[in-house]
Amino acid sequence: MDERLDFLFLNEEEAIEAGAADITRCIEVMDEMFLLLGKGDYLMGSPNHNAHGIKIYFPKESPFPNMPRKGPDRRFMALVAYLGGRFNICGEKWYGSNVANREKGLPRSILTTLLNDADTGAPLAFMAGNTLSSTRTGAIPAVGARYAAPKDAKILGAIGVGVIGRSCLRGLLTVLPGIEEVRVYDLMPEAAKSCCSFLEANFPVKAVPVDTLEGAVRDCDVVNVVTSGAVSPKLEDEWFKEGMLLSLPASADVSTKMMSESKILVDNWKMYEAYAAELRDEPGGFAKNLSGICGYMMDLEQQGVIKREDIVELGDVVAGKTQVRTDEKQRVIFIMDGMPVEDLAWGYEIYQNALARGIGTKLNLWGGYHS
């Protein structure tokens, strides 16, 4: 063998230079990705082809002094997938997270994305994934709103406006040009005010900070929730406007009655079935073992509170196999948990941009020798 094998390395600044923060383009790429999902031209981990990823579960206690202990959002995850169509790429999102990182001047999550040739397995690119991931996370609610938001939506409510929350707002305002007012709630009032200033400087909207959850939900046509922490914001039934869209890239405490009476839109139901197979024998139900509203939804479906026929997959909607709404008065709850195919699609786009623009560093894995 005498072959040279190189791959492209992109640090965070280079990934941004190659377009990682371009929410408008990302929405279109995510729409394309969901079309492939609806057609079935993808594979995720495990023989069921729909595993979210592999997670290290840290113990509460350990006899080994160096072994990490369980803590708030402390996790390592490997999310692997193949995506077809024009992408035809394999790869992985590698995810390390720890709330305590902030005390060290680091982001809570530190992400990288690896792209591989789908035929040979050779690495094509290794790139910083934080901006890449936050942008694709913000684009998913936008794709959902494109197909599920009420017609003539004018008021958008936002609960939680950190990095991901702002990304979601940029995406939602991109696909909902009729929005006239944004009502912003955050546990940190200064963050809400700062977000409002940002929105008014970049979009033709009136942005208003509100001091209660109710203020960010009542009378809103679309509500997006992006909070973190052990306790999810409790949203009361009477706050929800008829026909509204509740978008949940994070969790919310929503009543069983509201869940059962709403149309449930998910990113990929087959992924939740894969979760169910993995967690079926764990005590306490799915909600006990899968954080956020995803496990809650799975428990309700298993109990028959939510009917399977009332759960719609976004990929099927984008592929034209079904539609979200049968009634404009119907409330829709969009539940999403993220998928590695999203990172592959956006990572491939950034990789192609970087090649075309001469961005990044070419690194050699091997070459110039005989074996």
Q: Domain segments of the chain: what residues?
A: 5-133+341-366, 139-339
Distance CA 41, CA 39 (A): 6
Mean pLDDT of 42-46: 95
User: In the prediction, which pLDDT does 239 show?
Assistant: 98
How far is CA 266 from its chain centroid?
Answer: 11
Mean pLDDT of 155-170: 96
User: Which residues make Cβ contacts (< 8 Å) with residue 191, sequence separation at least 6?
Assistant: 161, 162
Does domain 139-339 fall into CATH 3.40.50.720? yes
Mean pLDDT of 46-50: 92
Inter-axis angle of helices 23-39 and 340-357, nearest 10: 130
How far is CA 175 from its chain centroid?
Answer: 17
Report the range of poorest mean pLDDT among 127-131, 257-261, 277-281, 341-345: 277-281
Give the strands of the sheet with 245-248, arranged side by side: 206-209, 181-185, 155-159, 222-225, 245-248, 332-335, 263-266, 311-313
pTM of the predicted model as reported, rounded to 2 decimal places: 0.94
Looking at the predicted structure, is the pLDDT value of residue 34 above 60? yes
Distance CA 23, CA 138 (A): 8
- Tell me the pLDDT band of 226, cut-offs 50, 70 and 90: very high
Looking at the predicted structure, is the pLDDT value of residue 222 above 70? yes
Looking at the predicted structure, is the pLDDT value of residue 16 above 70? yes
The answer to whether the beta carbons of residues 55 and 75 sit under 8 Å apart is yes
Neighbour tally for 241: CB within 10 Å: 17
Looking at the predicted structure, is the pLDDT value of residue 1 above 60? no
Question: Which of these, 226, 228, 31, 52, lies nearest to 140 by C-alpha position?
Answer: 31
Q: Which residue has the tokens 């001091």?
A: 211
CA distances from 66 to 243, 283, 306 (A): 52, 29, 44
Distance CA 115, CA 7 (A): 9
Instruction: Fill in the DSSP letter of residue 309.
Output: G
Distance CA 222, CA 215 (A): 13
Mean pLDDT of 328-336: 95
Report the range of poorest mean pLDDT among 52-61, 85-94, 341-350: 52-61
Q: What is the pLDDT of residues 173-220, one digit of tens each?
A: 999 999 999 999 999 999 999 999 999 999 999 999 999 999 999 999
User: In the prediction, which pLDDT does 369 show?
Assistant: 55
CA distances from 196 to 170, 234, 250 (A): 12, 23, 21
Question: Which of these, 199, 201, 210, lies nearest to 176 by C-alpha position?
Answer: 199
**Class of domain 5-133+341-366 (CATH, top level):** alpha beta
Instruction: Fill in the DSSP letter of residue 291.
Output: T
- Tell me the pLDDT band of 283, cut-offs 50, 70 and 90: confident
Distance CA 118, CA 120 (A): 6
Neighbour tally for 356: CB within 10 Å: 9
- Tell me the pLDDT band of 368, cut-offs 50, 70 and 90: low
Distance CA 277, CA 236 (A): 32
To the nearest whole percent, how much of the chain has pLDDT over 90? Answer: 81
Distance CA 174, CA 83 (A): 26
User: Which residues make Cβ contacts (< 8 Å) with residue 276, sequence separation at least 6?
Assistant: 286, 298, 302
Mean pLDDT of the chain: 93
- Tell me the pLDDT band of 282, cut-offs 50, 70 and 90: confident
